[in-house]
Chains A and B, each alone.
Chain A
Amino acid sequence: QLQLQESGPGLVKPSETLSLTCIVSGGPISTNTYYWAWIRQPPGKGLEWIGSIYYFGNTFYNPSLKSRVTLSVDTSKNQFSLNLSSVTAADTAVYYCARHNMITWGEPDWFDPWGQGTLVTVSS
């Protein structure tokens, strides 16, 4: 059974870079039927897709965050990572990683399964 687990600092200072890693277990990340995604949820609010990455490095980013987001993948460690630069208090959220299903190559679909999420607070 595939499992995803987010890891990284729970507190980041304003203007710094938020860095999270998602460790995938129970299956390879280097599969041609999935992308791998990051999604966030500010406290008490809804879900926002951040970006998705294929194990070859192909990426899709949310246009509203694109200038600050970098996704990367490490197939040797079966994990993928998120860097979000120049953070502000508005970036405080629970960050989830998820498998992004892909039926048609290059056009991912729904997200399943999800990691449990990790709360990142931006504060000095």
Chain B
Amino acid sequence: EIVLTQSPGTLSLSPGERATLSCRASQTLNSRYLAWYQQKPGQAPRLLIYDASSRATGTPARFSGSGSGTDFTLTISRLEPEDFAVYYCQQYGTSLTWMFGQGTKVEIK
């Protein structure tokens, strides 16, 4: 079973700052098969990024994804007030199970 470890657990930043979130897989993922989701309180998760770096429809350009193999990064170039939320990574394409990381909370400093 692939385990995804996200770091840090909580990121305290101010609006306008850059956020860098990490997702590390316990084994190499096929190709760049990783997705990122954003979840705000009381809401369902929303797909932000798929295939490690492709933005989903409606994802603002300030969100970017990168990485391959076991190490992946979600970057928010300049935090907007609506970006403070919990972010999850999710792997696919390596085993016929679909696992999520434990999440990183981006909170207002």
Contact = CB atoms under 8 A, between A and B. Distances in A.
B25 interface: no
B93 A109 contact: yes
Interface string B89-109: 010110011111111000000
Contacts of A62: 97
Contact of B92 (A47, A96, A110, A116): A110
Contacts of A115: 44
Interface stretch (B13-21, B45-53, B71-79): B45-53
A49 B99 contact: yes
Interface in A4-52: 37, 46-49, 52
B63 interface: no
B47 A108 contact: no
Interface in A101-120: 101, 104, 107-117
B90 A111 contact: yes
| Interface class of chain A by DSSP | strand
A111 to B, nearest CB: 7
A115 B93 CA distance: 23
Interface residues of A, number: 24
Nearest to A104: B93
A116 B90 CA distance: 19
A48 B99 CA distance: 7
Contacts of B45: 47, 96, 111, 114
A115 B43 CA distance: 9
Contacts of B99: 49
Contacts of A117: 44
Contact of A52 (B47, B98, B103): B98
Given A63-B1, A108-B92, A117-B44, A49 B97 contact: yes
Given A46-B88, A46-B103, A47-B88, A108 B44 contact: no
A46 B102 contact: yes
B23 interface: no
Contacts of B97: 49, 60, 62-63
Given A47-B37, A96-B45, A111-B35, 10 more contacts: A46-B100, A46-B103, A47-B45, A47-B103, A60-B98, A107-B92, A107-B93, A111-B45, A111-B98, A112-B56
